[in-house]
Amino acid sequence: MWDKSEKKFEQILEKNKHKIYRICKIYAVSPIEPQDLFQEVVFQIWKSYATFKGNSNISTWIYKIALNVCLRSKMKLEKNNNKMIRLESIQFLPVKNIPEEGEQEKYQYLRDCISTLNEGDKSIVVLYLEDLSYREIASITGLTENHIAVKMKRIRKRLFECITPKLN
């Protein structure tokens, strides 16, 4: 039986917050900030939490919600996009050990290369970078494993071609 206590919910958020935030950073388009998207994802997770049956992996379930929220925001399907409410209880503080400039630069290259992909490929590549198996990516996107494998072969090639000269 899946534990649906509030404590469990908080533990799930704590464990998955960085995964959610990484996806939000890719999809946030001005004037929507990654923080706004993150809060919306947290809210949607809470809203759907009662319906989670525990049949699937909780991370996979969270990825589905995060991607769906981000895509809806991108396609301007949310009528209240401009008035996303900031929850005071979620704070984004700067870290003490800021990553080296080189690391940040590499991330910027990766981000630039991801942005050259179309939306369909982008949603697959972020899941691939999260180290999910093709089976998990298939269960999130609704495509077959074979389909994902074929697409990934092409996306990987394109991504490598874009980033290799930049990293070198």
Query: Which of positions 115-134 make contact with other proteins (CB under 8 A)?
Result: 117-121, 123, 129-131
Which residue lies nearer to other proteins by CB, 6 or 30?
Answer: 6
Binding status of residue 88 toward other proteins by CB under 8 A? yes
Q: Which positions ≥6 away from 156 have C-beta within 8 Å?
A: 128
Binding status of residue 5 toward other proteins by CB under 8 A? no
User: Which string of DSSP letters, residue by residue, matches 122-168?
Assistant: HHHHHHHHTT--HHHHHHHHS--HHHHHHHHHHHHHHHHHHHHHHH-
Name the residue among 143, 132, 154, 127 with its Cα closest to residue 66. Answer: 127
Radius of gyration of the CA atoms of the chain, in A:
17
Binding status of residue 54 toward other proteins by CB under 8 A? no
Tokens of 47: 């809203």
Binding status of residue 82 toward other proteins by CB under 8 A? no
Binding status of residue 36 toward other proteins by CB under 8 A? no
**69, 73, 134, 136: which one binds other proteins (CB under 8 A):** 69
Tokens of 131: 């180290």
**2, 3, 10, 57: which one binds other proteins (CB under 8 A):** 10
**12, 32, 37, 140: which one binds other proteins (CB under 8 A):** 140
Tokens of 137: 């990516």
Residue 31 CB, shortest distance to other proteins, in Å, is 18
Binding status of residue 58 toward other proteins by CB under 8 A? no
